[in-house]
Amino acid sequence: MRLRAAAIQPRSSSSISKPNNPTFSSESNNTSSPFNKSLFSWSRFKPFSAKCKSLKFRKKWKQYQGINNWEGLLDPLDDNLRSEILRYGHFVDAAYRSFDFDPSSLTYATCLYSKNSLLNRCGMATYGYRLTKNLRATCGIHVPAWIHDMSKLTCIRSSWIGYVAVCEHKKEISRLGRRDVVIAFRGTATCLEWLENLRATLTYLPGDVEVKDGVCPMVEHGFLSLYTSKTNMHQSLQEMIREEIGRIIQSYTNEPLSLTLTGHSLGAALAILSAYDITATFKNAPMVTVVSFGGPRVGNESFRKQLEQSGIRILRIVNSDDVVTKVPGFVVNNDDMASNGDIHVGILSAWLQRRVEDMQLVYADIGQELRLSSKESPYLKKVDIATCHDLKTYLHLVKSFVSSSCSSDRMDPVM
């Protein structure tokens, strides 16, 4: 048996999930930036629509959404797929930019912009999407009153976590070959969200879920809590997504439609839970795809099989140097156990597996991986935990990646 695990430590700030100020450029004099000055400005991470061959793309959109699990598109990385990954990454970046991270602000943990202005304020006016729904996540942890008295950070149970946006521009719909709906989530930001992240044991999915191989589908306790918890004032994230997706499906029932869920860190986990819930709730759901950046593990092997059987396509963008993608829990490789010829080692491995299973910490890696490495980039000055997990780093690595056998030097001199 091979166990893979890593410890994750809570941080005093949200910097591990929150992107750094996204304005780095070759003109910047910020010596603390983890990027060399030859790296281009974040504002140049604009949609690559014009670079895609529209006719080819329109006819093959299901392939780029993962209908064949991105076979033949990842290594080497197809340029059209690269453009789509970056495009969805921009939606996640907009969720970060729009969140009020300042605890001293009266609008802390809310969205800084109105629905009509959010995408424009984040430099996405030309993307052709309209924001239709703001989303909130509520923590299920109840903190004692005396802790509330010490810090208002623990008082914020419900916070803005992302949004739903629908493609409405006719030319973009034509280029994409369908009307695309994006659900974008930011990563961990509040104190209670960090506490939820640390509830790493697996728990059963609510409702009547079909059992596979005698093992029920299970997911991380804290992620499920954030997805299903609600207050007297706020619906749960689950209720908001069901309500909005039901309305959208009904509105566009007579045209090609796709649902693309995307997120970074905690947002990647919520994207997977949302995708599962959508396909379980709506039998007439369109094609559902998840594009995740730096996501942690979410559920067990039975949950992975449920996702596959529901037809959800998941593309996980993973930085090999990012510790968050290696937690929570353990991944048990049963093939290694079966092939081990030493009976004593086999008995010990089986015993260890039972102990780990009893602790509800045996997870499974989910989806198709695009594996990158920040150590291979000549543009990164430092490779610390926060930099390796930063969304900005992920988009930089996607932009530069060519193939596993070719160095990542595909960089424009200016961005």
Which residues are catalytically annotated? 265, 322, 389
With both helix axes pointing from N to C terminus, report the angle between 391-400 and 79-97 in degrees, rounded to the nearest 10: 170
Asked if 137 contacts 187 with a C-beta cutoff of 8 angstroms, the reply is: no
Q: What is the CA radius of gyration of the chain?
A: 21
> Rounded to whole angstroms, how far apart are CA atoms 192 and 226?
10
> Rounded to whole angstroms, how far apart are CA atoms 150 and 162?
28
Asked if 11 contacts 363 with a C-beta cutoff of 8 angstroms, the reply is: no
> Rounded to whole angstroms, how far apart are CA atoms 373 and 403?
11
φ/ψ of residue 77, rounded to 5: -75, 120
Contacts of 349 (CB under 8 A, 6+ apart): 1, 336, 337, 340
Q: Which amino acid is at 413?
A: P
